[in-house]
């Protein structure tokens, strides 16, 4: 989609290895699609295998300390991502996701998106630790797309072109989104330019209303068909396309000859709702379609990249999947157990990473003076950057034998309140809620722990601020 202008913390973790043994799936989503006569031609996931027999790599990470890379595979055939390998490799430094491998055998791997018709490029790469999650107790990481991040493959194999039929699904974080253009996954132009109506067919998720929108305030699942985000038969409002913001959201788009559909549901329970099923938009260029067969993630077809969102898994098929097939795929996603079990809410100790800055929360200069405002700095592993969440919901650091609590200065409840170290006293301004969307909020104030001005500089101060979904309010502990 073209537009010139324009979170997920699965608990409080650095995604530690668990003692839960991996169990191979008896059937994956792509096995189900194949049985239904609509086989996968692209299958991407950083969390699990999408075929019961898949035993290859899921994705690749690169660490900043020496720019070396590591492929992250599964713990067993048909199993979950080997998050422990990533944790070990990225320990003491930061990592980005450099490639997301296609499990279908077609070689449709997603890499850094190049410059396109929209301003800017090549795109930035996703922080590899910004979207920790669990699947049936197994730790894994999603792909956290901040504005400016994006992935693409313009030289694909097997992807639908022209007016040929396809089906697409993605499992997304329904609480991480914005109104920027365009958080997409699916079929796009092969030249990274806006090539006109009908040259795309991708899942869109967010609150952009310039072309189409649904009921409520959003976010909505819509189809990006280029020069239009469609929630129904025409641009504009479709009251049957609901706000869909489950923590783990299943989003589906199906497209064939003058027929397409939107389906959505809770990726943790229940079935799918059909938000639209009918004819193509009644505008020149969409019937027949002119799909080109590239694959994008987190961006629009012309590399518009002001969007945000989190992706866990998704596929593209050849052929228009039946409702029975899609129902079986949804049941498989639910059975994968996103967000269930594991130690993702545990009270472990480690560095508290500011996702947007790639720095660590610290007690500046290891001071033992209560009232000192905390800041962010290059991660060093020092005691002044080691934080523990205890059973009282306090965040504590022990420096030179003294233990301090993270504290909202003066029991402040207004945006801009300084966050300081202070002697622990059991009061609510020293208690913190760790949220599944990656934020940390003060129990007393309800405000978010925030890096002032979204700065990425060493010494940037930390305060309380109204929660706004920004990457400067995203945190992980490792």
Indicate which residues carry an active-site annotation.
Answer: 226, 302
Instruction: Print burial letters for 122-161: b (CB count within 10 Å at least 16), e (below 16).
Output: ebbbbbbbbbbbbbbbbbbbbbbbbbbbbbbbbebebbbb
> For residue 167, what are the contacts with CB-CB under 8 A and spacing of at least 6?
33, 38, 252, 253, 254, 255, 316, 317, 319, 320, 321, 326
Strands 212-214 and 375-377, how do they pair? unpaired
How does DSSP classify residue 337? Answer: -
Instruction: Give the pair of three-digit tokens for residue 327.
Output: 């129902």
**Burial class of residue 349, CB neighbours in 10 A (0-12, 13-18, 19+):** middle
How does DSSP classify residue 313? Answer: E
SS3 content of the chain, % helix, strand, coil (to 5): 10, 40, 55
Is residue 253 within 8 Å of 243, Cβ to Cβ?
no
Q: What residues does 74 pair with on adjacent strands?
A: 81
The dihedral of CA 148, 172, 207, 182: what is its sign? positive
Is residue 262 within 8 Å of 292, Cβ to Cβ?
no
CA distance 339 to 346: 14
> For residue 382, what are the contacts with CB-CB under 8 A and spacing of at least 6?
362, 366
> For residue 288, what are the contacts with CB-CB under 8 A and spacing of at least 6?
162, 163, 198, 257, 258
Q: What residues does 202 pair with on adjacent strands?
A: 186, 224
Cβ neighbours, 10 Å, residue 91: 15
């Amino acid at each position: 989609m073209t537009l010139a202008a324009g979170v997920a913390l699965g608990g409080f973790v650095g995604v530690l290895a668990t003692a839960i043994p991996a169990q191979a799936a008896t059937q994956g989503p792509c096995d189900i699609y194949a049985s239904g006569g609509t086989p996968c031609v692209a299958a991407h996931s950083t969390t699990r295998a999408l075929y019961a027999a898949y035993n290859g790599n899921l994705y690749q990470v690169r660490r900043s300390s020496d720019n070396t890379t590591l492929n992250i595979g599964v713990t067993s055939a048909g199993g979950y991502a080997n998050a422990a390998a990533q944790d070990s490799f990225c320990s003491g430094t930061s990592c980005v996701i450099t490639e997301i491998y296609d499990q279908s055998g077609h070689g449709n791997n997603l890499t850094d998106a190049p410059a396109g018709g929209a301003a800017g490029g090549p795109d930035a790469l996703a922080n590899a630790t910004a979207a920790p999650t669990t699947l049936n107790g197994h730790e894994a990481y999603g792909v956290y797309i901040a504005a400016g991040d994006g992935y693409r493959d313009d030289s694909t194999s097997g992807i639908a072109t022209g007016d040929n039929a396809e089906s697409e699904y993605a499992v997304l974080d329904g609480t991480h989104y914005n109104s920027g253009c365009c958080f997409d996954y699916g079929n796009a132009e092969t030249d990274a330019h806006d090539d006109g109506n009908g040259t795309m067919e991708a899942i869109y998720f967010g609150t952009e209303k310039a072309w189409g929108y649904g009921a409520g305030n959003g976010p909505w699942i819509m189809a990006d068909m280029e020069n239009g985000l469609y929630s129904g038969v025409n641009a504009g409002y479709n009251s049957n396309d609901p706000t869909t913001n489950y923590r783990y959201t299943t989003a589906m788009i199906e497209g064939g000859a003058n027929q397409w559909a939107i389906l959505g549901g809770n990726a943790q329970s229940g079935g799918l709702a059909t938000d639209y099923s009918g004819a193509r938009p009644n505008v020149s260029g969409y019937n027949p379609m002119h799909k080109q067969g590239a694959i994008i993630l987190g961006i629009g077809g012309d590399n518009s990249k002001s969007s945000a969102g989190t992706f866990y898994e998704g596929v593209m098929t050849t052929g228009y999947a039946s409702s029975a097939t899609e129902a079986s795929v949804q049941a498989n996603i639910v059975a994968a157990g996103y967000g269930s079990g594991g130690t993702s809410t545990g009270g472990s100790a480690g560095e508290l990473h500011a996702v947007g800055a790639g720095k660590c929360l610290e007690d500046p200069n290891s001071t033992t003076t209560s009232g000192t405002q905390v800041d962010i700095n290059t991660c060093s592993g020092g005691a002044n950057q080691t934080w523990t969440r205890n059973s009282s919901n306090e965040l504590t650091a022990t420096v030179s034998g003294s233990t301090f609590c993270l504290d909202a200065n003066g029991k402040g409840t207004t945006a801009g309140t300084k966050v300081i170290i202070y002697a622990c006293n059991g009061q609510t301004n020293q208690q913190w809620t760790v949220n599944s969307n990656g934020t940390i909020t003060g129990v007393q104030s309800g405000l978010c722990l925030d890096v002032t001005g979204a700065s990425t500089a060493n010494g940037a101060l930390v305060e309380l601020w109204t929660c706004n979904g920004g990457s400067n309010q995203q945190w992980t502990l490792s």
